Amino acid sequence: MKHYQSREEIPVSEKWDLTDIFSAVKEWENSCRKLEKLIQDIGRYNGNIHDAKDLLDYLKLDEKISTEYNLVYVYAMLSGDLDTRDTKSQSLLDRASQLGVKIKAATSFFMPYLLSIKEDVLKSYIEETEGLRYFEKDLMDSYRFKDHVLSKDQEEVLSQLGEALSAPSKTYGMLNNADIKFGEVTLENGEKTELTRGMFSKLIEDENREVRKEAYKAYYKPYLQLKNSIASTLSSSIKNNVTLSKLRNYPSALEKSLFNDKVPEDVYNNLIETTKKNVGLLHRYNEVRKEKLELTELRQYDLSVNLVRDVKKEISYNEAYDIMMKALAPLGEEYLNILGSFKEKRYVDVRETPGKRSGAYNLGVYGVHPFVLLNHHDDLDSLFTLAHEMGHAMHSYFSHLHQPRISAYYTIFVAEVASTVNEVLLIHYLLNEAADADLKKHLINHFIDKFKGTFFTQVMFAEFEKITHEMAEKGMPLNLEAFNDVYEKLFSEYNGEVLQLDEEVKYGWSRIPHFYRPFYVYKYATGFASAIQIAEKLLDGDRLMQKSYSEFLKSGSSDYPLELLRKTGVDLTKPEPIEQALSQFKSLLDDFAKQ
């Protein structure tokens, strides 16, 4: 696999075309100036909405500002993610963030105003003014938040504090993406190479245990060096979230996070409890791993190495895209035709370069198209990541095409369903196509590891968030020692006594950016469980499921997420989807252990 040192080395076909949003920075700046004026215009509605017409005019202007601001922010963000060290891009993002604060401040009066109108009066406004019907669901839904909206003045103060409250997350982001350097590691051939996140994901799978150990130690070293600073950013982030939850009269930070999606706390607790009852499956897998690797003791740097040797092969980006297209055939011709066009239209930024944001994501931009960021490494993991992110991209594409702006963006709760359905379809395709017994065994092992990472690990993270937020709510100290104690205890509970814990294990929390988006990670696990149920029916050729799943992808946020999933036959208020997923993990483990 080629390592790229600059974006100039990468083929144009494998890079985003951000001119689809703005032709140049000058046009972006014009849009910023336009927004400044629109923000002044909308601010004049403060205290001046007197009837249904005024209300409609305000809402139309608000949506116009939201649409324009989304383009401004996304352009700055995407530019910056290509090289997080670039100060020009950082200044664009700073300006966009400041505009966001101004918009929040200018519109902060609206929710207190809206909730001061009696429901029957608002209903009469909607009935007599046709344009208001477009906003009806959101307007009426606002009454759910009545107990959690503060006075006009208080809302304005909170909106002004927006940038300061997001500081812990931004600080961690700069540390994690721009400042942290992992140093050099020695490869098996004796050569030294700079360790990147992408390189780490390869070396932690290396068959040479000393290479894995050195990469593991080098990867954690900067996090240990910055442990107190990172503990401070995470502690501040959690305390900010707890304080906001109290100010808004929520019983807890968890309930605040669940409220918007209308998800009962039982769904979150059921996920953790059902998984913990079955965590013995993960203990058993680690015992199988220790046995297959013929180790006297199992360490954390042994948890990613492939258990089936000599079957790794290089899969180019073009080949990966072709395999993905074949694997997703159960989703139908419409899906495949649109997905095939994304590659040639340059919706994907493919390669890892110095300073580029780590990981992968999809960002759907209403009125433009999805943008997918990858750090592709021409291997099996990268093939799965491609299928995963293109699931998100197709979800964005369909929802934006079939929904009006107000309901075009799906909630994070359902986001992981579309991505994981693609991964499940891919693994089944690869298993069916594999003629070689070792390759099949390797694929089963790969899916078990995917299952572990997307389900078990995320449930463990979700429990870590729940415990640390509850500690903050009780006024208990949240510092380096507290984070280490909670994380190490959970890691041991989930992985079992067979795993010998290195000193670095307890610092695992320090490298997880998702902890700065409170109560987000559990959605990976619920999405994974939902996807398994949906994918199994698609693989059985269930035409009704293909139709209902297609409708789900086109639904955006037109209904609450649990209701959207119920239309596909998945009910997350019950333990069954979680149990069904865990049952599949057991079957995979049984198959693998037998071979």
CB neighbour class for 500 (10 Å; exposed up to 12, middle 13-18, buried from 19): middle
- Residue 385 or 188, more confident: 385
- pLDDT of 319 strictly over 70: yes
CA separation for the pair 399, 532 (Å, rounded): 22
Which pLDDT score is estimated for 311?
77
Which pLDDT score is estimated for 157?
87
- Please report which helix (H) or strand (E) contains residue 274, including its range: helix 265-277
Which pLDDT score is estimated for 479?
97
CA separation for the pair 399, 413 (Å, rounded): 15
CA separation for the pair 198, 204 (Å, rounded): 10
Residue 215 token pair: 């990469």
Which pLDDT score is estimated for 412?
86
User: What CATH number matches the domain at 12-165, 1.20.140.70, 1.10.3720.10, 1.10.287.70, 3.90.1150.10?
Assistant: 1.20.140.70
Residue with tokens 């099949």: 440
Residue 98 token pair: 């400041």
- φ, ψ for residue 221 (rounded to 5)? -55, -50
Binned at pLDDT 50, 70 and 90, residue 589 comes out as very high
Cβ proximity of 230 and 132 under 8 Å: no
Domain spans of the chain? 12-165
**How much is the average pLDDT of 73-77?**
97
- pLDDT of 456 strictly over 70: yes
Which pLDDT score is estimated for 213?
95
CA separation for the pair 301, 48 (Å, rounded): 62
DSSP-derived 3-state class of residue 361: strand
Cβ proximity of 561 and 568 under 8 Å: no
What letter represents residue 345's amino acid?
Answer: K
What does the chain come to in residues?
595
Which pLDDT score is estimated for 107?
95
What letter represents residue 146's amino acid?
Answer: K
- pLDDT of 42 strictly over 70: yes
DSSP-derived 3-state class of residue 371: strand
Q: Please list the active-site residues.
A: 389
**How much is the average pLDDT of 244-267?**
95
**How much is the average pLDDT of 312-336?**
94
CA separation for the pair 295, 302 (Å, rounded): 9
- Residue 465 or 187, more confident: 465
Which pLDDT score is estimated for 1?
62
Binned at pLDDT 50, 70 and 90, residue 171 comes out as very high
Percent of residues, the chain, with pLDDT higher than 70: 100
pLDDT digits (tens, 9 = 90+) for 349-399: 999 888 888 889 999 999 999 999 999 989 888 999 999 999 999 999 999
CA separation for the pair 259, 253 (Å, rounded): 10
Q: Which stretch, 113-122, 178-187, 389-398, 570-579, has highest mean pLDDT?
A: 389-398
Per DSSP, 176 falls in state: I
Binned at pLDDT 50, 70 and 90, residue 164 comes out as confident
- pLDDT of 5 strictly over 80: no
Cβ proximity of 302 and 209 under 8 Å: yes
**How much is the average pLDDT of 30-35?**
97
Residue with tokens 């991505």: 419
Which pLDDT score is estimated for 485?
98
Cβ proximity of 42 and 69 under 8 Å: no
What strand order describes the sheet that includes 361-364? Answer: 348-349, 370-373, 361-364
Minimum mean pLDDT among 109-113, 148-152, 179-183, 459-463: which range? 148-152
User: CB-based contacts of 350: which residues, under 8 Å, 6+ apart?
Assistant: 10, 14, 15, 317, 374, 376
Residue 281 token pair: 């499956």
The overall average pLDDT reported for the chain is 93
DSSP-derived 3-state class of residue 349: strand
**CA distance from start to end of the chain:** 31
**How much is the average pLDDT of 282-298?**
96
CA separation for the pair 505, 220 (Å, rounded): 9
**How much is the average pLDDT of 478-502?**
97
